Structure 1
Amino acid sequence: MLSHPMKIIGASLLIVALAVVFAFHHFRPSSPSMRLDKTTFNRLHGWNQDNLALAFTAFKQSCTEILKRQPDQPFGPPQAASVRDWQTICYAANRLKTINMITARQFFENWFEPYLVKNGSSTQGLFTGYYLPLLFVNLQKNGQYTVPIYGLPNDLVQVNLGEFQPAFKGKSIVGQLKNHRLRPYPDRQAIETGAIDGKAKVLFWSNNAIDVFFAQIQGSAMVQLPNHQQLLIGYAGHNGRPYTAIGSVLVANHALDKQHLSMDAIRAWLTEHPDQTQPVLNHNASYVFFKVLKGHDPLGTEHVPLTTGRSLAVDKRYLPLGAPIWLETDRPLYPSKEATVPLRQLFIAQDTGGAINGIVRGDVYWGAGEKAAFVAGHMKSIGQYWILLPKKLSK
């Protein structure tokens, strides 16, 4: 998932950025119709059975960032109140000494009210999963370790368009500055054939191109050196190119059946067709760059550690990061490829992702290990969710 760094740019790039903004001045992408319908906690199936203490702990992680923000700023989308309202709630969370299922439930019910999130008249959306993969790497390239894991290139420029025109708040473009013009950054195919050689540090060399590709989709990974030392790498930036799901490419080419499409199925097909692996991967022009992180828990877009089974990636154009989200859907039952079990629990919106677009769309973080990889790789569920907003909004 994503956490975008900003580069400091010179006067020439300022001119370029302004040109880009004015070029798009009359372009207004249509946005779906988001509606919030207020309800009550007793209408949330499983609310009284969920261990909300786990969600409370994740919420307090978000509070570390919420408390750093300017109080008078809006918290997120217009419906989400001000930062000050959320900071008041965070101070109350920090004062809570006894944390268990009962006190956590009382906390959320005292401070929030649930709102059903709707895309027009529809409440249904797609919910998937992601996890922390393990990559086997080396510090030097050799016959076994040949796949680079790149750091952020020194010629990559990211422009925050909102700094030049308020209408473009939250939008950015990525490119290269060439002859005082901002050009699109090389796509995956170009990068794989040497377009950024000498411009990006190789952090590690991996022994598996497929593993590196899926690590880019997940946004973070644990890497293990030959001496068994493990290090965490996380998202440092991307090339600004659009994300394309290679599963849809394989289905369109009749290589895989849509009904049985999963990460395992995609990985198996790529492994069985090594001569076609890179051409298929190149259909996804998006390319992610990494950085080495401290600790063992990956950071989400909100810059807080993700919590297994409680962090949710969302589209932050519609849902603010840090907000509690009650989710009702299904998840795969490990290790069955067919069976599912209900998933009814509280998450915290703490991350985003290139494929997570839309009003009702979410990606559940399942942590690390074989079970997490299985559940994340097979989760493709239809569900709905409710956002918890401060009670002050209804007064």
Structure 2
Amino acid sequence: MNSVVFKKDTSFSARRLSAVFLSLGLSLSACSTLHPPHIEPAPQPAPPSAEKNKPVAPSNNNKQPENAKQAGIRPQNFSVSWVGMTNEKAASALAAFQQSCPFLISHTDKSGLTEKEDWSTPCSAAQAMTGNNSSGQAIAFFDRYFEPVVVGDGKAFVTGYYEPQILASSQPKTNYNTPIYRRPADLIEVHLGDFQSTLKGRSVRGRVEKGQLVPYFDRAAIDKGALSNRHLEIAWAADPVALFFLQIQGSGRLALEDGRVIPVEYDGQNGHDYKAIGRLLVQKGALENSQATMSGITDWLHSHPTEAVGIMENNPSYVFFRERGDRNPLGAIGIPVIAETSLAVDPAYIPLGAPVVLMLDTKHGGDSPFVNGVWIAQDKGGAIKGLNRFDSYWGYGAKAEHIAGGLASHGSAWLLLPKGVAARIGSEKHDKAQEGTKISGSTGSDKK
């Protein structure tokens, strides 16, 4: 029997896993026009001493810090107005922050940087501005109530996600025979923190068989009919490849033959680890690194139908959907995400609900810095892990698909923390260092 897979909770996004494809060699052919403000350097380590020649344990320096507080922050000195956002983007960011406030003041920040009460002042001020979000006022708001900090080295990697639309039928028929499933009732999620405090925030998914929790059916088993005859079908897709990528995006629209459109969104995943088929195709020599984009992988799968099923089944992860009505897809904080404003982050490094300033080194076509500005961390995803890793939401339609499908850029990121938080963290760090010095000195005296 396979071992149970440990997973972090996900929301509107298993789909952000598409970024895995984009990171396999995609580059953007555009030049930079804006230069980010200078990032204050981290303190330099002390010169090596004679102790350097002593045997030492293997270094753990390559291990990623557990959260933002452990990674460290450095306050920066610049105004948000410098970024040069459009009027619409500034107002949209403020509106999104207003919507995020109930989450910020009621949930524990997994990054370790903020307390719930830290958000009270900016959130009260933001709510007082509801319905009056002009660009100038929005920028002034972020400047007045926040200060930019670098988390870790501040070097960002940004991808994009969007809502695809695929052809489907309300009934199975010739050329429409790939089911789009709702979440099965026997898919169970167990929160491990309920059993052991050290596992808080982690969960497993599976099903009960003979009184034991076992892994849920993987993609291959589901493709072979493990969920057949259970009346779970929302519709039947015309193209299994299109459905595969709809699962990666996590949300989208089903365009039915009769002209109706059914918006659907992520409603759970089978608990198996995601495996990038783009990487697999590169390893097999079927694609070059530069071809391992979403469009390149799609083209290969369509042109190799006999091999396509097996390749897709190398990714055991399977996503289930629910109909969502006319609203936008829900993000990780339980509110609809907003195109060109909502950002998927790793909550261990960026507080969910917080504002983030992005400044990319490149542009995507056009002549405007389309990403640069304030975004609000309202989502998370399976591939969005680590320091300064971001996935930007672009909405629905051809433009969204074009931008999100081609966005894989490096740049700079600044987290906007409520004023006073950075100083408090610095003070706590200083006090902890002082306490460590006292303990060390006391230990030395005891040895005398």
- What TM-score do you get using the length of structure 1 for normalisation? 0.84
Q: Is the 8 A contact 1:321 1:350 kept in 2?
A: yes
The residue aligned with 1:103 is 137
CA drift at 1:57: 1.5
CA drift at 1:3: 2.2
Matched residue SS, 1:78: coil
Q: Is the 8 A contact 1:330 1:342 kept in 2?
A: no
Task: Give deviations 1:21-51, integer Å, cap 9, x for gaps.
Answer: xxxxxxxxx6536221111234x69424454
Task: Give deviations 1:200-224, integer Å, cap 9, x for gaps.
Answer: 6111111111111111111101112
Rounded to whole Å, the distance in 2 between the matches of 1:98 and 1:342 is 24
Task: Give deviations 1:132-173, integer Å, cap 9, x for gaps.
Answer: 000222211111211111111111110111222222121111
The one-letter code sitting in structure 2 at the alignment partner of 1:352 is: K
Task: Give deviations 1:175-228, integer Å, cap 9, x for gaps.
Answer: 111112111112111111112224561111111111111111111011122222
**Percent identity of the aligned residues?**
37
Rounded to whole Å, the distance in 2 between the matches of 1:331 and 1:211 is 29
Matched residue SS, 1:205: strand
The one-letter code sitting in structure 2 at the alignment partner of 1:85 is: D
The one-letter code sitting in structure 2 at the alignment partner of 1:237 is: G
The one-letter code sitting in structure 1 at the alignment partner of 2:111 is: P
Task: Give deviations 1:268-321, integer Å, cap 9, x for gaps.
Answer: 111111111111111211111011112241111111111111111111222221
Answering whether residue 420 of structure 2 is matched by residue 382 of structure 1, we say: no
CA drift at 1:330: 5.0
The residue aligned with 2:325 is 294
CA drift at 1:260: 3.8
Distance verdict in 2 for CA 1:40–1:111, change over 3 Å: same
Rounded to whole Å, the distance in 2 between the matches of 1:368 and 1:330 is 25
Q: Is the 8 A contact 2:151 2:388 kept in 1?
A: yes
Q: 1:185-264 residue pairs with structure 2 within 5 A? A: 185-199=216-230, 201-264=232-295
CA drift at 1:124: 2.7
CA drift at 1:392: 3.0
Rounded to whole Å, the distance in 2 between the matches of 1:284 and 1:378 is 22
CA drift at 1:76: 3.2
- The structure 1 residue matched to 2:420, chosen from 370, 376, 392, is 392
The residue aligned with 2:72 is 35
Kindly tell me the number of residue pairs found equivalent between the two proteins.
358
- The structure 1 residue matched to 2:371, chosen from 343, 368, 376, is 343
The residue aligned with 1:94 is 127
The one-letter code sitting in structure 1 at the alignment partner of 2:141 is: F
Q: Which runs of 5+ in 2 are unaligned?
A: 1-8, 13-62, 425-448
The one-letter code sitting in structure 2 at the alignment partner of 1:39 is: Q
The one-letter code sitting in structure 1 at the alignment partner of 2:375 is: F
Rounded to whole Å, the distance in 1 between the matches of 2:272 and 2:156 is 25
The one-letter code sitting in structure 2 at the alignment partner of 1:243 is: Y
Matched residue SS, 2:72: strand
- The structure 2 residue matched to 1:63, chosen from 101, 119, 122, is 101
- The structure 2 residue matched to 1:138, chosen from 169, 175, 178, is 169
Q: Is the 8 A contact 1:330 1:340 kept in 2?
A: no
CA drift at 1:116: 0.8
Distance verdict in 2 for CA 1:341–1:55, change over 3 Å: closer
257-266 or 367-376, which deviates more: 257-266
The one-letter code sitting in structure 2 at the alignment partner of 1:253 is: K
303-312 or 195-204, which deviates more: 195-204
* Greater RCO, CA 8 A, separation 6+: 2
The residue aligned with 1:283 is 314
- The structure 1 residue matched to 2:92, chosen from 54, 57, 66, is 54
- The structure 2 residue matched to 1:352, chosen from 366, 380, 388, is 380
Q: 1:295-310 residue pairs with structure 2 within 5 A? A: 295-310=326-341
Distance verdict in 2 for CA 1:296–1:356, change over 3 Å: same
Bigger Rg, which one: 2
Matched residue SS, 1:275: helix
The one-letter code sitting in structure 2 at the alignment partner of 1:315 is: D
Rounded to whole Å, the distance in 2 between the matches of 1:153 and 1:55 is 36
Matched residue SS, 2:371: strand
The one-letter code sitting in structure 1 at the alignment partner of 2:273 is: P
Q: Is the 8 A contact 1:130 1:363 kept in 2?
A: yes
- The structure 2 residue matched to 1:150, chosen from 174, 181, 187, is 181
Q: Which runs of 5+ in 1 are unaligned?
A: 5-29
Distance verdict in 2 for CA 1:312–1:173, change over 3 Å: same
RMSD of equivalent CA atoms: 2.3
The one-letter code sitting in structure 2 at the alignment partner of 1:41 is: F
Distance verdict in 2 for CA 1:129–1:173, change over 3 Å: same
Answering whether residue 395 of structure 2 is matched by residue 367 of structure 1, we say: yes
Matched residue SS, 1:76: coil
Rounded to whole Å, the distance in 2 between the matches of 1:261 and 1:60 is 38
The one-letter code sitting in structure 1 at the alignment partner of 2:74 is: D
The residue aligned with 1:78 is 112
Rounded to whole Å, the distance in 2 between the matches of 1:223 and 1:248 is 28
The one-letter code sitting in structure 2 at the alignment partner of 1:267 is: T
Rounded to whole Å, the distance in 1 between the matches of 2:407 and 2:299 is 17
* Greater strand proportion: 1
259-268 or 170-179, which deviates more: 259-268
